[in-house]
Amino acid sequence: MTFLRPTVPNPGSQRDAYRQSFNEVRAASVALAAPLSPEDQCIQSMPDASPTKWHLAHSTWFFETVLLQPNAADYVSFDPRFQYLFNSYYEALGPRAPRPQRGLVTRPSNDEVMAYRRHVDAAVNAFLENIDDAVWTEIAPVVALGLQHEQQHQELLVTDILHAFSCNPLLPAYRAASGPSLRLASSSSPMRWLEQPGGVVRIGSAPVAQEDGGIDFAFDNETPRHDALLRPYAIGDRLVDCGDYLRFIEDGGYRRPSLWLSDGWAQVQANGWQCPAYWLAPDDPRLAFQPAAVGAGRTAGGWHVFGLHGVRPLEPEAPVAQLSFYEAAAYAEWAGARLPTEFEWEAASADPQLRQATGHVWQWTRSSYDPYPGFRPMSGIAAEYNGKFMVGQVVLRGGSVATPPGHARPTYRNFFPPAARWQFTGLRLARDL
């Protein structure tokens, strides 16, 4: 996407590039919702997930609230009530609808939300077309933030609807397998250890205005760039795959408390975990509802995996996904290894031998989600974007099959609570030298 690192000669050309990116990103969100019925788009399967309709409306609310209302003097709100309905967690902007009840907002309808999107899209395009270069220079970072924010919600839209479909006994497919592939690619080679020298490494990002007027984007949680000291270590050249993880299951991994962190074992016991979130054991009754062709290709002892293309036989060489941090840590313990720290992961990402670094699964690290030394949140409304979540979360690195192309980067810090397992989350091993 051109808005990440534009290399254009002047602010006017940069503005045109951003306008193009704005329209592309906005259209991509609508395209992601296209396979879904109005009923699909209103469902909320758990408090941590949100309905598709809400994602489409909230990403629109963001541009309206952060870009248009403070900067476009002639902007007319589509519906003032939407300020309450589609605010996510911005306390400074007043009260908002409770997150666990987003699925109860059957009105406005899908058609009204789409009209809201068109209204804001037209206003943003008109605003960007008519401002002068001085104003553009001031608001360009806001546009970049809005685009990155919408891409985050594109991934959440996909993973949230996948979770909702996983709660349906029929396990419907989000998209037919004949369409663009959203499957996890396989890697047939055995894992090799890549030794890393450690030492003092540069971590993080430092976005600055480029001489040509471009902007290197980074979220505030990726900053400031700083030094970190690493001991020598080794990291797996590929992700842990389903075949690897199946051996952990068959060896009693979910029945051996010695492998688990205390809180993780409590989750196993409380929730009955026996396998990754979307795996189906050979005796799972939901397999009876699947087409005969699904069962005909059974492999790996009859295990199946539910994904964006529906139920498929487990592919041993595909990366394991939908794992919590606790499961990733238990597997690493079983394998005689550990999870990498986020700094080890970032340093190793420059190694050309590191495979499957992005575009497959987000990779759990052993690092708590903490501020970098000298961290300062973004200013204004965006000050609440990241910093207030820096407690009780674990950092993930990489990027998944559901991450929009061009969105992730080596310094990107994703984060989730350690028990979360509805995202495309997996692991890569590390060990000390």
Ordered by where they begin, the domains of the chain are 11-166 (1.20.120), 172-433 (3.90.1580)
Q: Which residues of the chain have pLDDT under 70?
A: 1-12, 178-183, 186, 188, 207-216, 292-300
What are the tokens at 11?
């602010």
- Residue 362 — φ and ψ, nearest 5°? -65, 140
Residue 11, pLDDT score: 63
Residue 180, pLDDT score: 56
Residue 212, pLDDT score: 43
> By C-alpha distance, which of 192, 176, 186, 276 is closest to 235?
192
pTM as predicted:
0.94
What are the tokens at 279?
């795996």
C-alpha–C-alpha distance, residues 271 and 266, integer Å: 8
Residue 8, pLDDT score: 44
**Helix, strand, coil percent content, the chain, rounded in steps of 5:** 40, 15, 45
- Residue 119 — φ and ψ, nearest 5°? -60, -50
Cα radius of gyration (the chain): 22
Exposure string of 179-214, with b = 16+ CB inside 10 Å and e = fewer, is: eeebebeebeeebeebebebeebebbbebeeeeebb
Tokens 């600055």, located at residue: 208
Residue 341, pLDDT score: 99
What are the tokens at 214?
């471009």
Residue 382, pLDDT score: 80
Give residue-wise pLDDT tens across range 342-392: 999 999 999 999 999 999 999 999 999 999 999 998 888 788 899 899 999
Length of the chain: 433
Beta-carbon contacts of 332 under 8 Å, excluding residues fewer than 6 positions away, are 338, 339, 427, 429, 430
Alpha carbon distances (Å) from 379 to 18, 136, 141: 21, 18, 11
Residue 4, pLDDT score: 37
Contacts 24+ apart (CB under 8 A), 39-43: 40/161, 40/164, 41/110, 42/103, 42/105, 42/106, 42/110, 43/103, 43/161, 43/164
